[in-house]
Chain A
Amino acid sequence: MNAAGFPLLSLITFLPMVGVLVMMMIRGDDAVIAANARWTALWTSLITFALSLVLWSHFNPADPGFQFVEQADWLPAWGITYKMGVDGISVLFVLLSTLLTPICILASWESIQSRVREYMIAFLVLETMLIGVFSSLDFVMFYMFFEGVLIPMYLIIGGWGGPRRVYAAVKFFLFTLCGSVLMLLAMLAMWHTAGTTDIPALLAYHFPAAMQTWLFLALFASFAVKVPMWPVHTWLPDAHVEAPTAGSVILAGVLLKLGAYGFLRFSVPMLPLASAYFAPFIFTLSVVAIIYTSLVALAQTDMKKLVAYSSVAHMGVVTIGIFTINAQGLSGALMQMLSHGIVSAALFLCVGVVYERIHSREIARYGGLAERMPAYAFVFMVFTMAGLGLPGTSGFVGEILVIVGAMKISFWLSLLGGTGMILSAIYLLYLYRRVVFGALTKDDLKSILDLNAREIAIFAPLVILTIWMGIFPAHFTSFWDASVGAMVSHHQTAMLLDHAVKLAGVMK
């Protein structure tokens, strides 16, 4: 049995489904159903979060392998098993998912008034899928959860979104599906070659060099759309703008991490030769993403769109970090993923706060909010600073580590990647100035209310985490140091082996 003494990961993964069952049984008129659905969803997600804290306390950071492993027969004759487990790379993302779900439910407490039960069901199903992605140790299971995310997210964007929600939902669905089906083929090819879909077994398997290229491209199609990388990022601004606030939060907070997690779990360790071969290609796309989408963000007049484009730029930093394949780069990428998961989620929540009051996302509609909303101004500032990577906040640690890691590859890569920090300072401070500072001239803003208790409860944990990660990054990096170290040495061994094979070929 695992360190927790009971099937912890399965419990965390499927507990939200119990909440779904409870909600389906609620009877009564609309108001009763809505109230009960909200509380059921909140308690379910809070209990899930509390359980997931066991992962935090019982995880052994010194062990680079998978922990809390559970296994059961599923389709044993075909090499497919039900297998769950986490290592240093995935464990904190399970926690991120369980943390953000109750926050999302709280954030939708008042803004969602129609079909509350269906909405809450969609969120809890989404939570199951997300935790499942990060804790699957079987490729088929991973794929199931990875794709399954589409169903609740499609319904959340399309059902409770803005005016162009249908377009955004369909675009989101088809873009991600198109990438994913190619991953399906890659998965089938890996299954055929290696005879198993067990992730630890696949990690140890050496795929032939020629095959790696194709597998990498197929996996890339799927993960690049999910990250999203330039130029397949175009679904993201639409989805973010049209999604309800909580939808944007979970989308930016966790869904964007799925692609990067896929690179970390599959592409880099399983296909080392192809990863090294394609790294310059990825660097190019990432640098373009950082510079281009930062400039696009600068030109936005819609707050949500601005934050959405900044997400693409920040994820560009992550992909650079991943493909440096050295300890600093990978560690920085993970830190940046975690930090972005909290900071961009919080920025969307900040937009949601004023949107709930004024019902506009136009930057020009605001100005001078600091006068009436000091607490809001403070919270918004913390996340703006974290977003632009101010030392002492979580954003700084990730970016600096990635820049250091990139420096080992090439000076120009780290220079161009680093421009992201400058550009993000420009567009975020510009946003902050226009919304929070200046004179309070608009009439309806003069009576705007500051954060209420519920909103403070939402933001408090995020503010604390942002600063905690900035000041004591080692509390977080220590989780993955061993796993990252193992990954780097695994990669170096594979590269050396390949050199040796080639050398032997020349000697003959």
Chain B
Amino acid sequence: MGAAVIDWTSMHWTLALPEIVLAACGMAILLAGVIVRGNFFRMATMLVVGALVVAGIMVVTGGQGVGFAGMFTVDAYSGFAKLLALICVGLAVITSLDYNEHEGLQRFEFPVLMLFSALGMLLMASATNLMLLYMGLELMALSTYILAAFARDDLRSSEAGLKYFVLGALASGLLLYGLSLVYGFSGSMDYNQLAKALTDPAHVSPGLIVGVVFLVAGLSFKISAVPFHMWTPDVYEGAPTPITTFLGSAPKVAALVLLMRLLATPFGHLLIEWQQLIILISIASMLLGTLGAIGQRNFKRMMAYSTIGHVGYMLIGLAAGTQDGIRGALIYLVIYVFMYIGTFALITAMRRRGRAVESIADLGGLGRTDPLMAMGFAIFMFSMAGIPPLSGFWGKYFVFAAAVNANLWTLAILGVLISVMGAFYYIRVIKVIYFEEARPAFDPRPASLSFVAAIGGLVTTFFFVFPAPIVAAAEAAAKVLFR
């Protein structure tokens, strides 16, 4: 720092090639959308998916290292997160194809905004500097605010967007305040230098701890952890369904990955300071997510509470503060996003005579009218309830294993008991599907939604057959944080 001369050779800008390509593609598609006459939505969607695939390939094949003067790190951890986030965005974009055409939302800005949001996520995954962290986060968040309000003639969607924006701005404020406190009390924004400065918990200024608390609060908002979850049910219910699909998956991946790197790397030595905080947030999220979901009639709203609960389980892994714990949380994250996106692909397909329906009661007797869709829902619900051999069980298995290994018995016992309570509302959905009188059948499913649901269903059902690659990748990613 300090020197005005920038050493261009040590920037290693090729490390950021996926991000650069994604940004270039986004701007090109945006330009094309302005120039091309006629409806560009379908084409833009395909191009965005293409750009995401290209970026994904670059993430997999690209090298590792540190670039941009330590701000930008590419390692196994960031690669894992980027690939997962890109998959989530890609699948969410595909679910919007049919929905937007039905709802009159076929505007090319829609997929492009998702692409820019994805760009923000990639930056978040690689951020090893508080400033880049904030930039990535805002790029992701600003796009999602617009997307939540995209159905601008729909009152609920506008309300969702506004609510999300106001509360999101508040959370950003908290985050910035925390950031400035950390910078003020430690003198650096760089993860490595912070880690070097904060090796002894006994000699850390209380101001810095307050800063960390603010950082955790700001990020808790993004992962909708209690007590910063208030926006979640309203936004999830009000936003267009593909956006709910998107909001519950990719931003959660990016924000959780960011939070874990932040707490484990620069503040890793302060484990005893933040562990209690994460344990509390985790228990509160699991409990509130579960209790809140029990009374819901709207499926999207129920899933919002379900997400809050799942985030609570993932935080168990972080609370353990060990490599096992981060590994467990990463595995849980992978499993969760596939269950979640699969469920939402099916929710998006709930349509009667052209009108989207979204209450749980509308699923009545689906087992008779559409056995395949019913089976899909059953797989996802049983999996979310954590019943083996479905994948949801494995997510819980790995985070609870970490909690047990770290001797967090209270957290583990509360966690499993809350998961039983959670099973109640998941199997209630299955009850409606299989045990109740049949309602009129849904409209035929478009192929795009079947495709996404099938991917989610296959991963969820057959994860147990080949868990090793995902577990090994998560292990390699987690190892990076504990070098």
Contacts and interface: CB of A to CB of B under 8 A. Distances in A.
B468 A144 contact: no
Interface string A232-255: 000000000000000000000000
Interface string A62-96: 00000000000111111000000000000000000
Contacts of B396: 184
B371 interface: yes
B444 interface: no
B383 to A, nearest CB: 10
A140 B416 CA distance: 16
A159 B367 contact: yes
A166 B435 contact: yes
Contact of A159 (B397, B413, B423, B435): B435
A486 interface: no
Interface in A100-151: 115, 118, 140, 143-145, 147-148, 150-151
A115 B433 CA distance: 13
Nearest to A191: B401
Interface in A145-164: 145, 147-148, 150-151, 154-155, 158-159
A155 B472 CA distance: 35
- Main secondary structure, interface of A, reads helix
B277 interface: no
B246 interface: no
A359 interface: no
B374 to A, nearest CB: 9
A118 B393 CA distance: 24
Q: Which of B388, B419, B428 has the most CB of A within 10 A?
A: B388
B467 A75 contact: yes
Nearest to A159: B434
B89 interface: no
Nearest to B379: A151
B387 A150 contact: yes
B292 interface: no
Nearest to B424: A174
B397 A184 contact: yes
B145 interface: no
Interface residues of A, number: 36
A173 B425 CA distance: 12
B280 interface: no
A189 B368 CA distance: 43
Interface stretch (A52-60, A175-183, A268-276, A322-330): A175-183
Contacts of A77: 468, 471-472, 475
B452 interface: no
B431 interface: yes
A505 to B, nearest CB: 26
A178 B427 contact: no
Contact of B424 (A76, A115, A170): A170
A189 B402 CA distance: 10
B371 A173 contact: no
A165 interface: yes
A158 B434 contact: yes
Nearest to A189: B404
Given A75-B467, A185-B412, A144 B431 contact: no
Q: Which of B400, B405, B435, B472 has the most CB of A within 10 A?
A: B435
Given A182-B416, A185-B404, A189-B404, A75 B427 contact: no
B435 A178 contact: no
Contact of B427 (A76, A118, A154): A154
Contacts of B413: 182, 185
Given A159-B367, A174-B420, A191-B401, A78 B435 contact: no
Contacts of A115: 367-368
18 contacts: A73-B468, A75-B468, A77-B468, A77-B475, A115-B367, A118-B371, A148-B387, A148-B389, A159-B435, A169-B431, A170-B428, A170-B431, A174-B420, A174-B423, A174-B424, A177-B385, A188-B404, A192-B405
Given A74-B468, A150-B387, 18 more contacts: A74-B467, A118-B371, A140-B397, A147-B388, A147-B393, A158-B435, A165-B435, A166-B431, A173-B427, A181-B386, A181-B420, A184-B396, A184-B397, A184-B400, A185-B412, A188-B405, A192-B404, A192-B405
Interface of B: 367-368, 371, 378, 382, 385-389, 393, 396-397, 400-401, 404-405, 412-413, 416-417, 419-420, 423-424, 427-428, 430-431, 434-435, 464, 467-468, 471-472, 475
